[in-house]
Amino acid sequence: MEAMNDLTPDLEQRARRVVTRWGHEPTRLLQILREVQEDFGYVPERAIPLIARYLRVPYSRVKGVASFYSFLVIGPQGEYRVLFADNVTDRMAGSERLLDALCKRLWAEPGKVSEDGLVSVGRTSCTGLCDQGPGLLVNGRAIGRLDDERVERIGELILARVPLADWPPEFFRIEDNVRRADLLLGHGLAPGDAIRAALRRGATGWSEHAANERSWREAYVGTAQGPVAVLEEIKRSNLRGRGGAGFTTGVKWEACRHATGLARYVVCNADEGEPGTFKDRVLLSSHADLVFDGMTVAAYAIGATQGYLYLRGEYRYLLESLERTLARRREAKLLGNGICGQPGFDFDVEIHVGAGSYVCGEESALIESLEGKRGVPRNRPPYPVTNGYLQQPTIVNNVETLCAAALIAVHGGDGYRSLGTLKSSGTKILSVAGDVARPGLYEYPFGVTIRQVLEDCGARNTQAVQISGPSGICIDSTEFDRRIAFEDLPTAGAFTVFDASRDMFEVARNYAHFFAHESCGFCTPCRVGTSMLVAAMDKIHAGNGTQHELREIGRLNKVLMMSAHCGLGHTACNPILDTLKRFRPAYERKLRSLDFTPSFDLDGALARARQMTGRDDEAAHLEASR
C-alpha cells in the first residue's frame, strides 16, 4: 500500500500546489497538511520531506505538527475514515452499539484499517451534534441522527464504494434546533448594521463622553475617537467572555489597543471543543454575518487590520459557506479597504481550520496553532493582548462574545446591560442535550434557574446536569434553583442532562477518557496524570477497584490542580470529584470490599487469546463468574 502510494506520480505536483496556494508560509503548515490530507485522504509519508523542503523548515517540524492533531493521519488510511463521536450524549443515544454494528457490517475492527484498505472505524471527541446525535464524521463530513437503519445504509454505501458526493444529501443535513431566542438569536440585523452603528457611535460618543475628551485627544490623534467610543460601550456593557473563563471583554480590548506592536490581530475562537457545546455551530451556520460584524467592530475598536477565524476541524463542512459569506462581505464593502466608506478602516478575515485538538480552544494554544505549530499552550505572562499572534498584540474572543459585541455596538452598553444580572450582563446561549424532550439552543438572560431550563426543554426525572461540559461542574437535583450567571454557575454553554437511569460513574469515566485523549502532553502532571485517572476509572469499571483507587484519584487531583500548565489539567479531575461527592454510591457499588487489589488481571491477560480464537464462552475464562 505504502509502496503504491510512493509511486503516486503526481504527489510532488499536488503537494507543491497546496504549498503554493498558501504562499510558502510556514505559519500555514497546519492548513497545508490539512489540505494535503483532503487531497490524498491521508498525509503521504513522502509528502512530509517535500513540504519541509518547500517551506524551508526541518522535516521533524512537519512531522511534529502532523502527529499532534488527531484528524491528521500519516500513511495510507482506508478510503473511508469513519469516526464516531464519543461524547457521553452520543453514548447515551447508543453510539457504541451502532459502532459495533457498522464494524460487523464492514468486517472491520475499531481503530484499524480493514484488510482490504477500504475503511477504518474509530472514535473521536464530541463533534458538536449532541442535539442530533449520535453523530459521526466520514472523511471529515458530519452525519447526525444515526440509527440502525442509517448505519446499515452507510455500511452499504461504503461497501459499494459510493463517493461521498453521491451519498443521500439528507445524511449531511444539520438542523439548527433553536428552541428559545432572545436578544442574540433573535437579533434581526442585516449584514453590516453593527459596523455602521459602531461608526455612527464615534460621532455621538464624542459628545456624550465629553468629560474624557481631553485625554482621548492626548492619547489618540486624528479620527481615533470613534474606536474609543465603541470601546467605551463595550466596557460600559460589562460584557464577559462567553468561552468559559469570563474575562471582561472591554479590559481585554483596551489592553490590546494600548499595547505597542507592528500590527494588531482579532482572532475569533470557533474551536468549540467542550463536549456538549454546539452553539457556535449554529451561530456560524445561520448568523455568520453577525460573527464577522463582531470581528470587524472589534478590529475598529482595537485598530486591527487582520482577523482570523479559527474553525474547529469538526466544523470543516461550514468552510465553503463561510468563505462565500466573506466574499459577499468584501463585495459589499464590509471587509477590505475603506469599510463602509470610512477611509483607513481596513480589515479582512482569513479562516484557519483546526484538525482535532481540544486544547487549541485555550487562547495561547490556538495562537500557536494559527502559527502552524503544535497546539501547546504558552507560558503566560506575557498574555496574547501584548504578545499574541506572531508576538503582536492580539485579542482572542469566543464566537458568541463577538456576536454580543456586535449587538452592543447597535444597542449600546447600557441597553445590553439592562439584561441579565448585576455581574453577568446580557444573555447566554445554552446547548441543551441529553435526557430532554427538546434538545437544542436556548438563549436566556443571565440569571435563569436550572429548574426553568429543565422545564423548558422537557427534562423528566432529572438526576444531574453537567454545566459547561466536563471542565465545568456537575450538579444534582438539590441544586436546581441555582442560576446560570458568573456569580453562581458560570458556563461556556454546555448543559447536559442525565435522568435517573444514568450511571454517573460511567459519565465521569467517559470524561476522564476525553481529557487523557486531549492532553497535549507538554507538562508532566497532565500528560501522565490524565492517563492514570483513566487507569483508575477503568479499574473500577472492570470491578477491580477499591478504596485505594478513590484515594489515588484525590491525590492525582491535588497534583494536577497545583502544577498543571493550563486549564485542561486543572479541570481534568472535576467530573470525577463532582460525581464522587454527589453520587458516591455509583462508585461504591463497583468497588471491591478489599482495601487493595493489584491491577494485574490474570483473566484479562487471556483477552488477546480469546480474540484471536474468536471465543468468549465460559470455558475461555478463568473464573466462570466473569
Partner 1 sequence: MSDAESRPSFTLDGVEVPFDPGQTVLQAALAAGQYIPHLCYHPEFKPHGSCKVCTVRTGGHAATSCTTPARAGMVVESETEEVVAERRMLVQLLFVEGNHFCPSCEKSGHCKLQAVAYDLGMTSPRFDHFFPDRPVDASHPEILLDFNRCILCELCVRASAEVDGKQVFALAGRGMGKHLVVNSASGLLRDSAVAATDKAVDVCPVGVILRKRVGFAVPVGQRRFDERPISAQASDYAPRPAPPRDP
- 374 binds partner 1 per the rule CB under 8 A: yes
Which member of 215, 599, 611, 613 binds partner 1 (CB under 8 A)? 599
Stated as kind and residue range, the H or E segment containing 194 is helix 193-208
Beta strands across the sheet bearing 348-353 = 348-353, 306-311, 265-270, 394-398
- 67 binds partner 1 per the rule CB under 8 A: yes
Spatial CA neighbour of 41 closest among 155, 138, 162, 159: 138
Which residues have a Cβ under 8 Å from the Cβ of 432 and sit 6 or more positions away? 131, 179, 438, 439, 440, 441, 442, 453, 457, 495, 497
Stated as kind and residue range, the H or E segment containing 256 is helix 249-258
Which member of 159, 164, 255, 559 binds partner 1 (CB under 8 A)? 559
Measured from the CB atom, is 91 or 374 closer to partner 1? 374
Strand 141-143 relative to strand 136-138, pairing: antiparallel
Spatial CA neighbour of 249 closest among 462, 45, 405: 405
**Terminal Cα-to-Cα distance of the chain (whole angstroms):** 41
- 565 binds partner 1 per the rule CB under 8 A: yes
Measured from the CB atom, is 50 or 151 closer to partner 1? 50
Stated as kind and residue range, the H or E segment containing 369 is helix 363-370
Give residue for cell 441579565.
420
- 596 binds partner 1 per the rule CB under 8 A: no
Q: How far apart are CA 564 and CA 546, in angstroms?
A: 26
From the list 106-114, 118-126, 511-519, 613-621, the region that binds partner 1 by CB under 8 A is 511-519
Which member of 63, 235, 417, 423 binds partner 1 (CB under 8 A)? 63
Q: How far apart are CA 200 and CA 202, in angstroms?
A: 5
Q: Which string of x and - marks every residue 202-241 that binds partner 1 (by CB under 8 A)?
A: ----------------------------------------
From the list 455-463, 499-507, 521-529, 613-621, the region that binds partner 1 by CB under 8 A is 521-529
- 524 binds partner 1 per the rule CB under 8 A: yes
Output the smallest distance, CB 389 to partner 1, in A. 20
- 139 binds partner 1 per the rule CB under 8 A: no
Would you state the cell numbers that stand for residue 17, as one nine-digit string?
500546489
Measured from the CB atom, is 7 or 437 closer to partner 1? 7
Would you state the cell numbers that stand for residue 466, as one nine-digit string?
453537567
- 546 binds partner 1 per the rule CB under 8 A: no
Exposure of 591 by Cβ count < 10 A (0-12 exposed, 13-18 middle, 19+ buried)? middle
Which member of 177, 342, 531, 547 binds partner 1 (CB under 8 A)? 531
Output the smallest distance, CB 562 to partner 1, in A. 4
Which member of 33, 259, 304, 564 binds partner 1 (CB under 8 A)? 564
- 550 binds partner 1 per the rule CB under 8 A: no
Would you state the cell numbers that stand for residue 398, as one nine-digit string?
469566543
> Is the peptide bond preceding residue 382 cis, with omega within 30 degrees of 0?
yes
Q: Which string of x and - marks every residue 92-121 that binds partner 1 (by CB under 8 A)?
A: ------------------------------
- 418 binds partner 1 per the rule CB under 8 A: no
- 514 binds partner 1 per the rule CB under 8 A: no
- 555 binds partner 1 per the rule CB under 8 A: yes
From the list 67-75, 311-319, 420-428, 451-459, the region that binds partner 1 by CB under 8 A is 67-75
Which member of 37, 357, 466, 574 binds partner 1 (CB under 8 A)? 357
Q: How far apart are CA 147 and CA 153, in angstroms?
A: 10
Strand partners, 466: 474, 496
Strand 306-311 relative to strand 265-270, pairing: parallel
Q: Which of residues 43-62 bind partner 1 (CB under 8 A)?
A: 48-49, 58-61
Cα 199–Cα 279–Cα 355 angle in degrees, nearest 5 = 100
Q: At what angle do helices 399-411 and 193-208 cross, to 10 degrees?
A: 50
Q: How many CB atoms lie within 10 A of CB 379?
A: 8
- 19 binds partner 1 per the rule CB under 8 A: no
Q: How far apart are CA 573 and CA 582, in angstroms?
A: 14
Q: How far apart are CA 189 and CA 192, in angstroms?
A: 8
Strand 494-499 relative to strand 462-467, pairing: antiparallel
Q: How many residues does the chain have?
A: 626
Measured from the CB atom, is 27 or 70 closer to partner 1? 70
Instruction: Count the residues of the shown chain that bind partner 1, applying the rule CB under 8 A.
Output: 42
Chain centre to alpha carbon of residue 292: 19
From the list 190-198, 325-333, 561-569, 603-611, the region that binds partner 1 by CB under 8 A is 561-569
Q: Which string of x and - marks every residue 152-191 that binds partner 1 (by CB under 8 A)?
A: ----------------------------------------
Chain centre to alpha carbon of residue 176: 17
Which member of 54, 308, 514, 522 binds partner 1 (CB under 8 A)? 522
From the list 111-119, 205-213, 471-479, 562-570, the region that binds partner 1 by CB under 8 A is 562-570
Which member of 519, 544, 557, 574 binds partner 1 (CB under 8 A)? 519
- 563 binds partner 1 per the rule CB under 8 A: yes
Output the smallest distance, CB 206 to partner 1, in A. 40
- 369 binds partner 1 per the rule CB under 8 A: no
Percentages helix, strand, coil for the chain, rounded to the nearest 5?
A: 50, 15, 35
- 281 binds partner 1 per the rule CB under 8 A: no
- 543 binds partner 1 per the rule CB under 8 A: no
- 90 binds partner 1 per the rule CB under 8 A: no
Chain centre to alpha carbon of residue 600: 36
In a 13 Å sphere around the CA of 612, the CA atoms on its Cβ side amount to 5
Output the smallest distance, CB 275 to partner 1, in A. 16
Q: How far apart are CA 487 and CA 466, in angstroms?
A: 17
Measured from the CB atom, is 385 or 450 closer to partner 1? 385
Answer whether 451's CB lies under 8 Å from 443's CB. no
- 558 binds partner 1 per the rule CB under 8 A: yes
Residues that bind partner 1 (CB under 8 A): 48-49, 58-61, 63-64, 66-68, 70, 357, 374, 379, 381, 516-525, 527-532, 535, 552, 555, 558-559, 562-565, 599
